[in-house]
Structure 1
């Protein structure tokens, strides 16, 4: 199984306010590379978001802007690439809004949401939040709402589901972005 997993954290409710991004590369069902960066957003922080992820304005004061980081990772977003996220609607919207804000062309890629796969495969769970699913599958999640830890957990969730249920049931949940 080959895919990338991604996760964003944002400064506030504006989708273009990304303050961190992580990408994990999976080849032949093995995590082979990872990328993490703080981002300096073009907007103010909300206290609610700071409480969620703990990233403060001072933490990103010297961080690169989204376009600089995008140059390093855009190669992974192709029409043939499966991009996985837990609550992919959020992460896809942050990527799209960030690209629009900076007037960068939007890539086309395949998207799979591990919230949706988890709802299908584990209906008995009390909820399908990342930490709940990770705990149920014995997947380590050191710091929930840290982009790299969340990305690693999402990748492991999909790998576990593919091993447990096979890849074919997952194909029905892939969306073209």
Structure 2
């Protein structure tokens, strides 16, 4: 299985306020690489978001803006590429809104949501949050809401689901971004 696990954190309630991004690259069902960056969202932070992820305006001062990051990661988002995220509607919309904010083309790519797959394949869980699913699958998640840690957990969830339920089951849950 080849895919990219993606996670964003945002500065505020606006989806176009990405302040950190992580990608975990999986090839032949093995984690082979990762990418993490803080991003200067060029917008104010809200205290609620800072409480969740711990990233402050001071920490992103001088970090690259999204238009500076995009050329390094754009190739991961192509129609033939599979991207996963836990609660993918959030992360997909952060990417889309951020690209739109900077008048950049929004790519089409395949998406599978590990929150959705967990709801369907693991209905016995009390909820399907990233930390709950990770714990149920014995996947370490030491720093929830750290984009890199969340991306690794998401990648491991999809790999565990592939092993337990098979490619065909997961393939039925793929979506193409709009």
The two structures have a TM-score, normalised by structure 1, of: 0.99
In the alignment, what sits opposite 1:80?
80
Q: Displacement, 1:140?
A: 0.6
How many pairs does the alignment contain? Answer: 177
How far off its partner does 1:175 sit?
Answer: 0.4
TM-score of the two chains, using structure 2 as the length reference? 0.99
Q: For 1:4 and 1:28, how far apart are their aligned partners in 2?
A: 12
Q: What CA distance in whole angstroms lies between the structure 2 residues aligned with 1:146 and 1:63? A: 17
- Describe the SS at the equivalent of 1:162: helix
Distance 2:111 2:89 in 1: 9
Aligned ranges 1:59-78 → 2 under 5 Å: 59-78=59-78
In the TM superposition, residue 84 of structure 1 has moved relative to its aligned partner by 0.2
Large movers: runs of 4+ above 4 Å: none
Q: Which residue of 2 aligns with 1:98?
A: 98
Q: Counterparts in 2 of 1:6-85, with a 5 A limit?
A: 6-85=6-85
**1:154 corresponds to which residue?**
154
What RMSD over aligned residues (CA atoms) do the two structures have, in Å? 0.5
Q: Which runs of 5+ in 1 are unaligned?
A: none
The offset of 1:42, in angstroms, is 2.0
Partner secondary structure for residue 157 of structure 1: helix
Equivalence for 1:126: 126
Where 1:74 maps in the other structure, the secondary structure is helix
For residues 104-144 of structure 1, what are the alpha-carbon distances to aligned partners after superposition, in whole Å with 9 as ceiling and x for unaligned?
11111000000000001110101000000001100011100
Equivalents in 2 of 1:107, 1:25: separation in Å?
A: 18
- SS of structure 2 residue aligned to 1:26: strand
**1:78 is paired with a residue of what secondary structure?**
coil
In the TM superposition, what whole-angstrom CA distance separates every residue of 1:24-72 from its partner, at most 9, and x where no partner exists? 1100000001000000012100000000000011000011000111110
SS at match of 1:94: helix
